[in-house]
Structure 1
């Protein structure tokens, strides 16, 4: 019997805001569960609350593998956005001998902390925006703002260093002066309890998102190009992206831009030591030069998400996508069964 642990974070739709904005929707959980079934697995579904729950379930079921989309622990909401959750889950699983999907804990830590991501990419001589980091727990905010003005200059874009799903990001994240910068930094602290943020050069050009899959052999999916003048990709904007897909560009290898973006994506995958799947966001400057602005180690696996959309244009079904993520694990095989739901 081929058991697999399916770990996710789920809250009712009415609670999907703030720290919980990144939690998986009901449809996503059900779609992945069905895909795992179709691939021949006995699925133990767990809405992940805390580390103790995880350890108890692994010990009880003697499970050797896990399909993980959980970003942290629901009992500790900060773990969902501060960059610690995805890595923590994988460290627990690794310590208990459980093989998990996506990249290792160390890579998750790099991807979930944008300052660390940029450090690695800069060392690999890959293009990233000029940037500075803010320690919002310090009292010298005025001095840090002055440093940002000198090193980055306006306009700049401000985002939390930790987390994903555009938590703390919206149209006000584009900064044109010191007062706007101070206001946004204060909002990050007061609304989310965020203590570290990153200010980078604002790039006015087209944005792209690139999906890379594989481990020993890596490949890039058809690339998604966002429409000109597309709004800042806040959590609210991402929720309605699927309704505007007809406005998006799909870049295939025949497109003159594809090779350059593909090269950067594969080099990013390699520099971070990623495996399985990642999604890389890039944006062009005023001269059309692409820069890497974000790396998502646990990209959304919603059937309406960017990764699924790009996979469809590669001739893959949703089941194929889930199977591809799973096949990167060394113990992948298929058998058959039903599921157990644990919440």
Structure 2
């Protein structure tokens, strides 16, 4: 039997044990609905019928995008840094929702136009002062893309000493819905038009203009098919933002270390798709927090055949959906570990 077959058989056996454990809890069988499915996924990620996930944390990756020069956004790039400052001050949307969930937040500067002063909650992993204009040339060089992936893996390693078992992913970056749409289109084959939405706000020239710019960007890059990892790297180099590429690298590392990955909205989901293409199996560790109101997000979730935990018509990003989902994930964890077992026959 191959190693891959051994792993698959072990997961199947553990899944059966987890379902049996849930059937034996002090409740009617299946009465906690999707929470029970979530508990099984958590048990599989942790490799235990009594998972102890440790600390939860949200990482917010920030970066700027050269493609904003093409009029694809309603706001200028300077807004990225302003929102990042709010995150460090503890007053951004993600901070407020994370406090409600009892979760810490850290900001990762992956490549904003201007740096921020040192701060206890800031991880400075700047690759460059924003990406290049992907409509005109690759968003980043080979060296920059490699550095962003490597930095993402290092950001995850930074969590090792803090006993972090649940990591939520969020982002800030004016123009990053354009980057996410391009990456998602290139990696899934979904129609580009279905992935183009307003992002932070409809651009002054309208969504048709945004779609035309992104179509021209795809044509300019003309990526040739190759092996999955090589092609994914080229897609990220051509279209990615530093925050999105760094996020994908961090997700691959988080999965390798057995962490629960909480995926936020449209941009984070595009990052998860890239992470899966780079390191198959990463998606098994992903829990999708919510379905964003950004039109392309529902298409990506359908493509992945996953059902998000929440649907609140949110589209802020920042990891706000992750913050709201973490208490539900924690509840599923505690269901396995702390809920009483019924002796004898189980009520139906």
Q: With the length of structure 2 as denominator, give the TM-score of the two structures.
A: 0.27
User: More helix by proportion, 1 or 2?
Assistant: 2
User: More strand by proportion, 1 or 2?
Assistant: 1
Q: With the length of structure 1 as denominator, give the TM-score of the two structures.
A: 0.27
